[in-house]
Structure 1
Amino acid sequence: MPKQLYFLCTGNACRSQMAEGFAKKLLPADWTIQSAGVEVHGLDPRAVQVMAELGIDIASQQSKKIDPVYLRESDLVITLCGDARDRCPVTPPSVQKLHWPLPDPAQAPGTPAEQLVVFRQVRDEIKTRIQSLNDY
């Protein structure tokens, strides 16, 4: 049965964008997959860079706000930060929700190289969690 999946975070700039990219590559082709944010912050170029390192191109993805219709019709909604979980609009009981509390790599301190280390750590954690969805 096809699934409709929605990844949500605050600005739809990093975590949810990486999750969308992995899900489109790793999950069954009949799944409908999107990401969004409670706000729009634009696609972070560091997320694009670390995904490209694994051969996944998310450069054409757009940062967007939550679509209430898509949210309501989703089978599974995954929030990737507490802000999105707390500010997510109410969904019908038919929508299953998961929460993956991942750090925001865009807030990582340090040099650009140190920040990329955090982006890669978050990216790899997202990949692991996406792979576990094959059993959903």
Structure 2
Amino acid sequence: MNQRKKTVLFLCSANAARSQMAEALLRHRAGTMFTALSAGTHPEQPDPRALALLSEAGIAIEGLRSKSTAQLPTQQFDFVISLCDQASQVCRKNSALAEQFIAWDLADPAKSDHPLAFQHTLALLQQKIDAFIEAHSSVQQAYAAPPHPTQVFKLLGDPIRLACMRMIFAKGELCVCEMMSALNASQPKVSRHLAQLRQAGLLLDRRQGQWVFYQLHPLLPEWVKTVLHSLPEEQTKN
């Protein structure tokens, strides 16, 4: 039986460069697995430099157009990936937009004076999208059974693990270094707790350079997300 393709929305302010490139890249690299779309909070026309770069790389640009969030389908997306802080704020205010939010805060190449700004942005997007594809291509096989409620509540009974889960739920994806700073805790200590959450099937991780990034497992039961969403912010701090 063929599995339903996951829907991914890339969101940035102008929907002119970053999100256009991300949409085209995901279609090019994993169009059989994902349906990719993009939109902007304040859309402008697609930047011709981004389109030209995609064409030079052999990536199809047919169908790419700038659109606002108001023009999106009424469906809920499986993933919304924000590419700037402004788009991330929109995501947080619209919790019904997606099953899972991921934040990739990339500088806008159109505002850079660097002659290779667009090339650097495309290369960074390629790395992130390849990691995204790799993490989710085998996720069904890796998730044999959902975690038992008793195990979940036991894990969340620790203040550090609870804080990590709540921060990841709020931000979409965080690296170990960000959680170390927020918790004022050592890398081994934070990593040990995150490993326990990952082994229990609550988190999914990916490595980028020397750091490991964590996000909620895409198949995490909805009741776990409901618990995390209902917790007051002060209850997540140790």
**TM-score of Structure 1 vs Structure 2, range by shorter chain:** 0.7 to 0.9
User: Retained in 2: the 8 A contact 1:12–1:40?
Assistant: yes
Partners of 1:118 and 1:72 in 2: how far apart?
Answer: 34
Q: 1:107 to 1:119 in 2, by over 3 A?
A: same
- TM (norm. structure 1) is 0.86
Task: In structure 2, give the amino acid aligned to 1:61.
Answer: L
User: Retained in 1: the 8 A contact 2:76–2:97?
Assistant: no
User: Retained in 2: the 8 A contact 1:48–1:59?
Assistant: no
Structure in which a larger fraction of residues adopt helix: 2
Task: In structure 1, give the amino acid aligned to 2:130.
Answer: Q
- Of the three residues 56, 59, 67, the one matched with 2:59 is 56
Aligned residue in 2 for 1:17: 20
Shift of 1:33: 1.2
- TM (norm. structure 2) is 0.51
- Of the three residues 4, 7, 17, the one matched with 1:4 is 7
Aligned residue in 2 for 1:95: 99
4+ runs deviating over 2 angstroms: 67-72, 91-94
User: Identity percentage over the alignment?
Assistant: 31
Question: How many residues are matched?
Answer: 131
Aligned residue in 1 for 2:198: none
Unaligned runs of 5+ in 1: none
Aligned residue in 1 for 2:165: none
Partners of 1:47 and 1:131 in 2: how far apart?
Answer: 19
Partners of 2:74 and 2:83 in 1: how far apart?
Answer: 15
Q: 1:49 to 1:93 in 2, by over 3 A?
A: closer
Q: 1:60 to 1:105 in 2, by over 3 A?
A: same
Counterpart mapping for 1:1-136 below 5 A: 1=3, 2-58=5-61, 60-67=63-70, 70=73, 73-88=76-91, 89-92=93-96, 95-109=99-113, 114=115, 117-134=116-133, 135-136=135-136
Answer 1 or 2: higher relative contact order, Cα 8 Å, separation at least 6: 1
User: Retained in 2: the 8 A contact 1:71–1:91?
Assistant: no
Q: 1:9 to 1:40 in 2, by over 3 A?
A: same
Shift of 1:70: 3.5
Q: 1:93 to 1:84 in 2, by over 3 A?
A: closer
Q: 1:91 to 1:57 in 2, by over 3 A?
A: same
User: Retained in 2: the 8 A contact 1:81–1:102?
Assistant: yes
Task: In structure 2, give the amino acid aligned to 1:98.
Answer: I
Compare CA radii of gyration and give the structure with the larger one: 2
Q: Per the alignment, in what secondary structure is the counterpart of residue 40 of structure 1? A: coil
CA RMSD of the aligned region, Å? 2.0
Task: In structure 2, give the amino acid aligned to 1:29.
Answer: T
